[in-house]
Amino acid sequence: MEKLKVKIGLEVHVQLTKLKTKLFCSCPSDYRGKPPNTYVCPVCLGLPGSLPKVNSKAIEYAVMVALALNCKINRKVMFFRKHYFYPDMTKNFQITQYDRAGGAPIAVNGYLKLSTSDKEKVVRIRRINIEEDPGKLVYPTGSIITSPYTLVDYNRAGIALLEIVTEPDIETPAEARLFLQKLRSILEHLDVCDCGLEGAVRTDANISVAGGGRVEIKNIGSIKDVEKALMYEILRQKEALLKGLSIRSETRHWDDVRKVTVPLRVKEEEQDYRYFPEADIPPIIITEEFIEKIAKQMPELPDERLKRFQREYGLPYYDSSVLVSNKKLADFFEETVKLYKRNPKKVANVIINDFLRWIHEKGLELDNVKAKPKDIAELLKLLDNGIISIKIAKTVLPEIIVSGKSPSQVVKERKLLKISDKQIIRQIALKIFREHKKAAFDALKDKKAINYLIGQIMKYTKGRADPAVTGKVVKELLTDLKEGKLKL
237 CB-near residues (< 8 Å, 6+ apart): 207, 209, 212, 215, 247
Return d(Cα 277, Cα 279) in angstroms, integer. Answer: 6
What are the backbone dihedrals phi and psi of residue 75, each rounded to the nearest 5 degrees, phi first?
-85, -30
Looking at beta carbons only, is 232 or 275 nearer to other proteins? Answer: 275
CB of 247 to other proteins, least distance (A): 24
Q: Is 53 in the site for other proteins (CB under 8 A)?
A: yes
Dihedral angle sign, alpha carbons of residues 59, 69, 10, 77? positive
CB of 97 to other proteins, least distance (A): 13
Alpha-carbon distance values, 290 to 60, 129, 206, 214, 384 (Å): 9, 18, 35, 39, 51
SS3 80: strand
CB of 266 to other proteins, least distance (A): 12
Looking at beta carbons only, is 20 or 412 nearer to other proteins? Answer: 20
Binding-site member from 35, 142, 211, 484 for other proteins (CB under 8 A): 35
C-beta of residue 160 within 8 angstroms of C-beta of residue 15: yes
C-beta of residue 265 within 8 angstroms of C-beta of residue 43: no
Binding-site member from 4, 122, 138, 235 for other proteins (CB under 8 A): 138
CB of 45 to other proteins, least distance (A): 6
* Residues within window 235-294 making contact with other proteins, judged by CB under 8 A: 267, 269-270, 272, 274, 276-277, 279-285
Q: Is 336 in the site for other proteins (CB under 8 A)?
A: no
Q: Is 36 in the site for other proteins (CB under 8 A)?
A: yes
Residue 424: which of 396, 447, 457 has the closest Cα? Answer: 457
SS3 90: coil
Binding-site member from 151, 197, 295, 390 for other proteins (CB under 8 A): 151
Looking at beta carbons only, is 18 or 391 nearer to other proteins? Answer: 18
* Residues within window 420-479 making contact with other proteins, judged by CB under 8 A: none
Q: Is 64 in the site for other proteins (CB under 8 A)?
A: no
Q: Is 198 in the site for other proteins (CB under 8 A)?
A: no
Q: Interhelix angle for 447-460 vs 422-435, to 10°?
A: 110
Binding pattern to other proteins, positions 90-129, x when CB under 8 A?
A: xxxx-------xx---------------------------
C-beta of residue 386 within 8 angstroms of C-beta of residue 418: yes
Binding-site member from 1, 145, 242, 257 for other proteins (CB under 8 A): 145
Binding-site member from 57, 121, 214, 372 for other proteins (CB under 8 A): 57
CB of 57 to other proteins, least distance (A): 4
Length of the chain: 488
The identity of residue 302, as a single letter, is P
What are the backbone dihedrals phi and psi of residue 131, each rounded to the nearest 5 degrees, phi first?
-155, 175
Helices (H), 362-406: 373-384, 390-403
Interface ranges with other proteins (CB under 8 A) = 19-21, 25-29, 35-42, 45-59, 78, 81, 83, 85-87, 90-93, 101-102, 137-139, 144-145, 147-154, 267, 269-270, 272, 274, 276-277, 279-285
